[in-house]
Copies of this chain bind each other. A is one copy, B any other.
Amino acid sequence: MTSERFSATYRIETAHPLSEAAEAMAGEQSSGTFVDVPGETERLRERHAARVESITELDTVNEPTLPGAAPPSVGDPNEYTRAEVRISIPVRNVGASLPNLKTAVAGNLFELRYFSGLRLLDVEIPDKIVEAYPGPQFGIEGTRQIVGVEDRPVVGTIIKPSVGLAPAETADLVSDLAESGVDFIKDDELLAGPPYSPVEDRVQAVMAALDDHESASGGEVMYACNITGDVDEMLSRHDAVVEAGGNCVMVSLNSVGLSAVKRLREHAEVPIHGHRNGWGALSRCPQLGFDFRAYQKLFRIAGIDHIHVNGIRNKFCESDESVVDSARAVQTPIAATDDAAMPVFSSGQWAGQAPDTYAALGNVDCMYLAGGGIIGHPDGPAAGVEHIKQGWEAAMEGIPLDEYAENHRELRQAIHHFGPVGTGR
């Protein structure tokens, strides 16, 4: 693959000959039409056509996964072959534009009648786009510096209840949570800036409360203030966060979209915590939509610093394998520069998943968020935070949790309460 072309990889399902189906994809991604049209000369084809680079046949199924596919003109209409297809596209077609790259690799393709399944697995980001876009401003190292945590995950929690707290109530809760020794506290995605809790008021109250605390590690407690909104609204909310001494903003990525996230990044002076709510609609049908590998690249290039990846043995429908793949993808460089983001584990987490998470990740460059796993600890939130740190210590030292718990009271109690080890809470 030269720097003149970039590629995208798909899993397809089709009753048509694979090469014919793959060529239809390439056509739709460049010439974009079904019939020969005047002016589409050989020169255009050569300079601008997408190209099928490889086709790897996978399994076959007897029923189409998605409706609406056309039967093949020849061959068995009841046999649907799955395959991995890599298509390359000239960089000049999209230029240095992330939204237009998205249109090229994830536009009308999903509706082609050749396919009873089509999923974008991965996409290569051309150097031209990498250079033109900001990428993460703080990333893993910048986030670590703010919270003063070096050699373990950033341990965090979520403000609950999700909705209904006035700014002063939120601040009280944050104060209690900070007291427990967490490094990071985030708003719920359901609370951004409603009339009963404007961002400006909430961040002032919360930061005033946090001024009285210092994290156990000597850094600041990071508060991800949910500023999700319209573009100018997000920029002014960001400014209110900075003015109040805040150190992180959170955005619901799918609710605002790619271009708004990039606009926020250009303006941002603090890390951007990316919440992926709505991701299920894009991913939960295995033969449709996006793999997280592809999806997270777009938002990292646009400039987020953290992104949610769910957690091992989570409360949602995602498999552990998918969670681990996602977290690894977020840590994998896109270009030569350090453009990794920090994967954020959450949902049903306590120390019980720390060993498996560490084993799968091979490092501690993540956020590890627990709600009930912290405030639900029988000895209170401080013990809740402590037991999670102990769980990661055990994981890093290769000591089974049960064994480590013998000399660590908070972990022992948590295993008794949340366990056994190997379960979600």
Asked if A4 is at the interface of the complex by the 8 Å CB criterion, the answer is: no
Shortest beta-carbon distance from A247 to chain B in Å: 22
Q: Is A97 an interface residue (CB 8 A)?
A: yes
A81 is an interface residue with CB less than 8 A from chain B: no
B32 and A160 form a contact (CB under 8 A): yes
Q: How far is the CB of A423 from chain B (nearest CB, A)?
A: 14
In the complex, what residues of B have CB within 8 A of residue A259's CB? 229-231, 234, 255-257, 259-260
Q: How far is the CB of A335 from chain B (nearest CB, A)?
A: 19
A401 to B68, CA, bound (A): 28
Residue A420 CB within 8 A of the other chain: no
Q: List CB contacts (< 8 Å) of A297-340 with chain B.
A: 310, 315-319
Whether A39 is near chain B, meaning CB under 8 Å from some CB there, is: yes
CA distance A70 to B259 in the complex (A): 36
**1/0 per position for A25-47, CB-CB distance to B under 8 A?**
00001111111011110001001
Stretch of A276-284, A352-360, A387-395, A409-417 with 4 or more beta carbons under 8 angstroms from chain B: A276-284
Q: How far is A189 from B101 in the complex, measured between Cα atoms in Å?
A: 11
Of A87-95, A178-186, A217-225, the one contacting chain B is: A87-95
Q: Residue A371 at the B interface, CB < 8 A?
A: yes
Decide: A100 near B39, CB < 8 A? Known: A30-B162, A256-B258, A260-B263.
no
Contact of B160 with A103 in the complex, beta carbons under 8 Å: no
A258 touching B258, Cβ below 8 Å: no
User: Does A290 make an interface contact (CB < 8 A)?
Assistant: yes
User: Please, which residues of chain B bring their CB within 8 A of the CB of A48?
Assistant: 161, 163-164
A107 at the interface (CB under 8 A from B): yes
Copies of this chain: 2
Whether B32 and A190, one on each chain, are in contact in the complex, defined by CB atoms closer than 8 angstroms, is yes
- One of B70, B284, B376 near A111 (C-beta < 8 A): B284
Contacts of A256 in B (CB 8 A): 99, 257-260
- Is A195 an interface position by the 8 A CB rule? yes
Partner of A190, one of B107, B262, B286: B107
Contact code string A257-294 (vs B, CB < 8 Å = 1, else 0): 11111110000000000000111111011101110000
A44 in contact with B161 given A39-B173, A229-B259, A252-B107 (CB within 8 Å): yes
Contacts of A284 in B (CB 8 A): 66-68, 110-111, 288
Q: Assess whether B288 is in contact with A97, with CB atoms less than 8 Å apart.
A: no
Say whether A106 faces chain B, with CB atoms less than 8 Å apart: yes
A98-120 interface with B by 8 A CB criterion: 98-100, 102-104, 106-113, 115, 118
Q: Other than the known A31-B163, A281-B289, what 12 A-B pairs have Cβ atoms closer than 8 Å?
A: A30-B190, A35-B372, A35-B376, A40-B164, A93-B163, A95-B192, A97-B228, A100-B252, A103-B189, A103-B192, A103-B278, A260-B260
